[in-house]
């Protein structure tokens, strides 16, 4: 299974996917790293693993249709079968969502369907969890549809919220389980694909 990873930031989830492949836990190839940010840390990781990279931003195009067409072309050129959103902060154009229906996975740093939606990213998520008084948080892998953070849930793992937690300490605990469950969810998809005759 060929995976295209989309990342906007440092790329620790991208690294976790690559490590799972290296360990033989996940049988897949990462054929593309796409980022909307030209200075994303994820580019360094891609370089270390000789993974092809593309910087693609809507700002480079006159309208969304042209942007979406370019994204589809990049995906086709790199033979991408499944897209993994690893800290990708932009909405995927509808045309791409339709073309890759049930083949786009996102990792979210909370237990969806709570604490998701537009604006719920990074420290905002953990601040909201702490403000709610929830005793559990965690990570969620879900399929991407046309709405932010609303597609079907594939895998979740919880972490305990302690009374002394700060947004930073909670983020660190959640990130650890993100790195566990994202490769596992991808593995489930890769195995399903291998079993199709
Ligand atoms: C992670 O917390 C992920 O859940 C969220 O963005 C963060 C990305 O971190 N969507 P990294 O770039 O993978 O280190």
CA distance 177 to 142: 15
Q: Transcribe 177-190 into DSSP letters.
A: HHHHHHHHHHHHHH
The two beta strands, 82-85 and 53-55, are: unpaired
CA of 119 from ligand 1 middle (Å) equals 14
Q: From residue 35, give the alpha-carbon distance in Å to each of 7, 88, 142.
A: 5, 8, 20
Pocket mutation for ligand 1, best pick of 36, 46, 87, 173 (most atoms within 8 Å of C-beta): 87
> Model pTM?
0.95
User: CATH classification of 2-194, choosing from 1.10.150.530, 3.40.50.2000, 3.40.50.170, 3.40.30.10?
Assistant: 3.40.50.170
- Catalytic annotation present for 108: yes
For residue 118, what pLDDT is reported?
Answer: 86
56 Cβ closer than 6 Å to some ligand 1 atom: no
CA distance 180 to 13: 9
Which residues of the chain, if any, have pLDDT below 50? Answer: 197
For residue 197, what pLDDT is reported?
Answer: 45
CA distance 107 to 171: 13
Residue boundaries of the structural domains of the chain:
2-194
Pocket mutation for ligand 1, best pick of 42, 84, 178 (most atoms within 8 Å of C-beta): 178
Q: From residue 116, give the alpha-carbon distance in Å to each of 21, 65, 102.
A: 29, 26, 19
Residue pair 142/154 in contact by the 8 Å Cβ criterion: yes
Using DSSP's 3-state secondary structure scheme, residue 23 falls into: coil
10 Cβ closer than 6 Å to some ligand 1 atom: yes
**Catalytic residue selected from 55, 78, 108, 142:** 108
């Amino acid at each position: 299974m060929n995976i295209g990873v989309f990342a906007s930031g440092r790329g620790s989830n991208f690294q976790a996917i690559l490590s799972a492949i290296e360990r033989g836990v996940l049988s897949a190839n990462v054929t593309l790293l796409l980022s909307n940010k030209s200075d994303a840390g994820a580019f360094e990781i891609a370089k270390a693993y000789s993974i092809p990279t593309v910087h693609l931003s809507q700002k480079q195009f006159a309208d969304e249709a042209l942007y979406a067409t370019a994204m589809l072309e990049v995906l086709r050129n790199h033979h991408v079968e499944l897209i993994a959103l690893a800290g990708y902060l932009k909405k995927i154009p509808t045309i791409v969502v339709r073309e890759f229906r049930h083949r786009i996975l996102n990792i979210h740093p909370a237990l969806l369907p709570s604490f998701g939606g537009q604006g719920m990213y990074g420290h905002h998520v953990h601040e909201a969890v702490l403000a709610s008084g929830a005793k559990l948080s965690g990570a969620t892998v879900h399929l991407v549809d046309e709405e932010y953070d609303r597609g079907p849930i594939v895998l979740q793992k919880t972490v305990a919220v302690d009374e002394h937690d700060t947004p930073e300490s909670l983020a660190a605990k959640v990130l650890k389980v993100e790195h566990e469950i994202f490769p596992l969810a991808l593995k489930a998809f890769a195995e399903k694909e291998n079993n199709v005759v």
